Amino acid sequence: MARLRRLALGLLILTTGAIAARAQDPLPSWNEGAARTAIVDFVKATTTTGSPQFVPPEDRIATFDQDGTLWVEHPIYSQLVYCLDRVPVVVKERPELANVEPFKTVMSGNREAIAHLSEDDLIKIAMTTLTGMPVDDFRAEVKKWLATARNERWKRPYTDMTYLPMQEVLRYLRANGYKTYIVTGGGQDFVRAYAEATYGIPPEQVIGTSAGTKYGYGKDGKPVLTKEPKLILDNNNAGKAEGIYLMIGRRPHAAFGNSTGDQQMLEYTKGGGGARLAMIVLHDDATREYAYGPAAGLPDTKVGTFTSALYAEAKKDWVVISMKNDWKKIFAFEGP
């Protein structure tokens, strides 16, 4: 009987603990406001049994753009820094590239000239630095780079540059049965190398721009997959909706983005029946992060274009997240 009582008491303690945890604020870094309310209302509406907008657990899919939505993208995408950092290594392996553009410019170290490389040049650099190696080597290289590379402004690892309020949204959705996906214009293999440790998102839930691989055998006779310079999925704009269909096969119930590259993903999400949440991050905090986006009367930049057309659609049908007003804290490393 004493054992039974201990068992029951233990159970009660466990239950009470769970209730206490549930009562804790799931979004402590968010200020009160329309954005926060939209998230909480959406989760309640779609996960409360008996709610007219209840979504069965297997259909709870939420998709997140990465650059500018989950972590800093300004003034340059982290993956592009990786590619530029890799150029000297590739040139050492293939010295003939040293006198060929755009590699010559990158090797010159002339930052102004590098900043003005064309999109075609950047694609050339990406293809050369991101393909041609076994997939395991690539993943190891990215991890090695992340361990030492630092964001120029904050002098911190790139994986520290994630937005704490968005990390809270990821955890809050997962705690309510949502499968969280990254749907990025960035390289799928690149993001997969750190997504599990950084966001709690496993590789199979990272959808990104993908090159093909080629199956073959190593010297030991074991199978090797080698990254090929052959684009399979351009996961930007319409490609995001197409990529979601290819990789998930269901329409998300919630989607988060910050630029024209996310427009179709957000539209596609809202195009479904029942409760659907589409949110867009506005970078309007020049002090704590950056302020850009012509729609909001802010300067235009090379990354994260937030056009007037996008802003008009956002105001009609989506919820805008103002970094300045909606976020108490932007990074986990900030003081309390």
Q: By CB under 8 A, name the binding residues for a second copy.
A: 4-5, 7-9, 11-12, 58, 135, 179, 188-189, 192, 196, 202-204, 206, 210, 212-215, 222-223, 225, 232-233, 238, 241-242, 245-250, 264, 267-268, 271
Is 67:76 a contact under the CB 8 Å cutoff?
no
C-alpha to C-alpha distances, 160 to 154, 234, 269, 285, 330, nearest whole angstrom: 9, 27, 29, 18, 11
* Cβ proximity to a second copy, 86 vs 192, nearer residue: 192
* Cβ proximity to a second copy, 270 vs 324, nearer residue: 270
Least spacing, CB of residue 5 vs a second copy, in Å:
6
* Cβ proximity to a second copy, 86 vs 251, nearer residue: 251
* Cβ proximity to a second copy, 176 vs 210, nearer residue: 210
Is 106:147 a contact under the CB 8 Å cutoff?
no
* Cβ proximity to a second copy, 50 vs 221, nearer residue: 221
* Cβ proximity to a second copy, 106 vs 206, nearer residue: 206
Least spacing, CB of residue 225 vs a second copy, in Å:
5
Least spacing, CB of residue 212 vs a second copy, in Å:
7
Is 329:323 a contact under the CB 8 Å cutoff?
no
Cis ω for the linkage preceding 56 (within 30 of 0) = no
Least spacing, CB of residue 207 vs a second copy, in Å:
9
SS3 of the chain: the string is CHHHHHHHHHHHHHHHHHHHHHHCCCCCCECCCHHHHHHHHHHHHHHCCCCCCCCCHHHCEEEECCECCCECCCCCCHHHHHHHHHHHHHHHHCHHHHHCCCHHHHHHCCHHHHHCCCHHHHHHHHHHHHCCCEHHHHHHHHHHHHHHCCCCCCCCCHHHCECHHHHHHHHHHHHCCCEEEEEEEEEHHHHHHHHHHHHCCCHHHEEEEEEEEEEEECCCCCEEEEEEEEEEECCCCHHHHHHHHHHCCCCCCEEEECCHHHHHHHHHHHCCCCCCEEEEEECECCCCCCECCHHHCCCCCCCCCCCHHHHHHHHHHCEEEEHHHHECCCCCCCCC
Q: Residue 231's beta-bridge partner residues?
A: 211
Phi/psi of residue 53, each to 5°? -105, 20
* Cβ proximity to a second copy, 28 vs 218, nearer residue: 218
Least spacing, CB of residue 101 vs a second copy, in Å:
31
* Cβ proximity to a second copy, 129 vs 213, nearer residue: 213
* Cβ proximity to a second copy, 56 vs 95, nearer residue: 56
